[in-house]
Structure 1
Amino acid sequence: MSLASTELVVRTIAETAIGNEKYFGDLDSVVGDGDFGYSLARGFEKLLEGWDDLDRSSPGAFLKRTGMVIASRIGGTSGPLWGTAFMRAGGAAGDSADLTGDQVVAMLRAAIEGIKARGQSDVGDKTLLDALVPFTNALSGGPLAEAASAARKAADATSEMVAKRGRAAYTGERSRGSVDAGAMAVAVIAERISEIWPGEGASS
């Protein structure tokens, strides 16, 4: 994956977050405070406003700078989590000018570990990890389209979980029956990247 491909992925994430502001907010309002969609959209709008000024010396540098902007611009708990994910992914990329499929998976795993540490959360806590981990696992052994499908299936399955992190955790059993907004955001973004990706799989 080249710098141009990295830019394509990040821009797609940003545009998808902005385009789904109301949907993500509505999902979050069921058991959360409803600001997830708004916060995510405003943060990624700021990223796009400064798009031309981002460090493009390597894919890793680009991702790290993206993470710094997101961490400072997205409100609530989402900023630190999403920002950490991008920064950890960028760190795992190192100075490589062109990333292999295996490197991309390793970057996603680094992002996952960063989210776990920052959010004190894990798979099963009804967070974005419940879609991001299955997506990454599927991507490590198959095409991007299948990984996106795995993310969607996993996000849908969060409706059966009880939230253990974030504001939704305060609702206890009432959080069962609705999908996690963060997990669904990961699924929707993964599907959109799969749609626009000029090939099949992370190594294309």
Structure 2
Amino acid sequence: MSGNALPGAELVVRTIAETAVANERYFGDLDAVVGDGDLGYSLARGFEKLIEGWDEIDRSDAGTFLKRSGMIIASRVGGTSGPLWGTAFLRAGATAGAAADLTGEQVVKMLRAAIDGIKARGRSDVGDKTLLDALVPMTDCLEKQFAAGAGGEEALRTAAAVTREAAEATLGMVAKRGRAAYTGDRSRDSVDAGAVAVAVMVERISETWQTRGATS
């Protein structure tokens, strides 16, 4: 695996799924501070289902794989998380289309499509203290890195650091969406669980990719 390569859709989705399951309690505890505490449980149950049916998911191309994954997630993840995560995967898959290998430019377009889907479905935007406050800075960083000629591994490593910083920066924000919005100014006292979940997942994808690259 070369430094300029990009991780395939299967590696990314599998890592996200395993990270969601492994961090069920952590994400739930974060969400319980001002939310209803079901984020960890909801994500874990949905991604567990994805892992259970892993070998049966259509892998005709990256787009089909992502769309099929999105449908499973949307049908199994509870609460408000299911529609948001499902929409993100479906939009990303539709943008990927029948591409065999994903370039940096394509990945950014896929992420932009996922972001637009989340914004429309959740009626939210950057600054509302949601997962978008981590996902958008991550995508912006990747776009800048690729435009500057960075290889995939370097771009992702840098983006992981930016995503973590952005997630931590939700501390001090007032939640405007979800159950946390009902707590008003009290929501300033904690980070957004969804944003932190995105940061943890991106960090894990970067770590997994680097490990595989070193051993391949």
TM-score, structure 1 normalization: 0.95
Separation (CA, whole Å) in 2 of partners of 1:22 and 1:60? 31
Separation (CA, whole Å) in 1 of partners of 2:106 and 2:64? 15
Partner in structure 2 of residue 202 of structure 1: none
Separation (CA, whole Å) in 1 of partners of 2:90 and 2:58? 13
For residue 106 of structure 1, report the CA deviation from its aligned partner. 0.5
Give the 3-state SS of the residue equivalent to 1:159 in structure 2: coil
Match of 1:96 among 94, 99, 103: 99
Of all paired residues, the percent bearing the same amino acid is 74
Separation (CA, whole Å) in 1 of partners of 2:98 and 2:210? 24
Give yes or no for the alignment of 1:149 onto 2:125.
no
For residue 98 of structure 1, report the CA deviation from its aligned partner. 1.1
Partner in structure 2 of residue 124 of structure 1: 127
Partner in structure 2 of residue 186 of structure 1: 198
Give yes or no for the alignment of 1:174 onto 2:169.
no
Partner in structure 1 of residue 35 of structure 2: 32
Give yes or no for the alignment of 1:162 onto 2:174.
yes
Cα RMSD for the two superposed structures: 1.2
Match of 2:45 among 28, 38, 42: 42
The one-letter code sitting in structure 2 at the alignment partner of 1:83 is G
Give the 3-state SS of the residue equivalent to 2:12 in structure 1: helix
Give per-residue Cα distances to partners, 1:35-83, cap 9 Å, x unaligned.
1001100100000011111110000100000000000000000000000
For residue 117 of structure 1, report the CA deviation from its aligned partner. 0.2
Separation (CA, whole Å) in 1 of partners of 2:191 and 2:210? 30
Give the 3-state SS of the residue equivalent to 2:102 in structure 1: coil
Give yes or no for the alignment of 1:108 onto 2:111.
yes
Partner in structure 1 of residue 152 of structure 2: none
Separation (CA, whole Å) in 2 of partners of 1:197 and 1:107? 19
The one-letter code sitting in structure 2 at the alignment partner of 1:49 is E
Give yes or no for the alignment of 1:75 onto 2:87.
no
Partner in structure 1 of residue 214 of structure 2: none
Partner in structure 2 of residue 137 of structure 1: 140
Separation (CA, whole Å) in 1 of partners of 2:181 and 2:85? 19
The one-letter code sitting in structure 1 at the alignment partner of 2:195 is A
Give per-residue Cα distances to partners, 1:113-138, cap 9 Å, x unaligned.
00000000000000000000000000
Give per-residue Cα distances to partners, 1:96-123, cap 9 Å, x unaligned.
1111110001000000000000000000
Q: How many residues align?
A: 198
Separation (CA, whole Å) in 2 of partners of 1:90 and 1:21? 25
Separation (CA, whole Å) in 2 of partners of 1:83 and 1:198? 27
Separation (CA, whole Å) in 1 of partners of 2:105 and 2:15? 21
After TM superposition, where is structure 1 displaced by more than 4 Å over at least 4 residues in a row?
none
